[in-house]
Amino acid sequence: MLSLLKRTLRRRQAKPIPGKEIEAPRPSKPQRGKPEWETVLTASLEQNSLAPTEEVILHAFDLYKEDVYGPHLERQHQMADLHAEIVANFASLQALVPGLIERAKSRHPFEFSQIAKIEEAR
C-alpha cells in the first residue's frame, strides 16, 4: 500500500516539447581570472622562482587597494555630489522664499541643521 502511495505522489519528469531546445544551466557566479594585483605579485615567482622586489610589492598593494576600496570611493563621490546638489537647491529655495525656510527650520530643526550650518559658513 505504501509503495503504491509513493508511486502516485512521485514527481514526474517534464517531457521535452518537440522543437523547443533545452538550455544548459548557467553558473550562478561568473568566474573571474586572477586579479591584476595578484598577477603582478606572483609573476616573478612563476617566471624566475624569485621573491618579488619591494617596488613590485608596493605596486601590487596599490593595485589591491584600488580593487578593494574603488567601489567605496566611487559611492563617496556620488554621495558628495548629491549632497552638493541638495545644498545648492536649498540655497536657491532660501533665496526665493526665505520665510518658508525659516518656518521649516523652526518645526524640524534636526533635519535642516546640517544644511543650515553649511549655508551659514558661506
pLDDT number for residue 121 = 57
What pLDDT score does 33 carry? 77
Rounded to whole angstroms, how far apart are CA atoms 8 and 55? Answer: 70
pLDDT of residue 28: 57
pTM: 0.47
Q: Are 44 and 50 in contact (CB under 8 A)?
A: yes
pLDDT of the chain along its 122 residues, tens only?
A: 667 666 667 766 666 666 666 565 565 555 567 888 888 888 888 888 888 889 999 999 999 999 999 999 999 999 999 999 988 988 888 888 888 877 877 877 777 676 666 555 55
Q: List, in order, residues 6 or more apart from 101 with CB less than 8 Å away.
A: 90, 93, 94, 112
How is the chain split into domains, by residue range? 33-121
What the block records as the C-alpha cell of 57 is 610589492
Q: Could you give the count of Cα atoms lying within 13 Å of 108 in the half-sphere of its Cβ?
A: 7
Maximum distance among all Cα pairs of the chain, rounded to whole angstroms? 86
- Residue 54's pLDDT is what? 92
By the 8 A CB rule, do 44 and 52 touch?
yes
Provide the residue count of the chain: 122
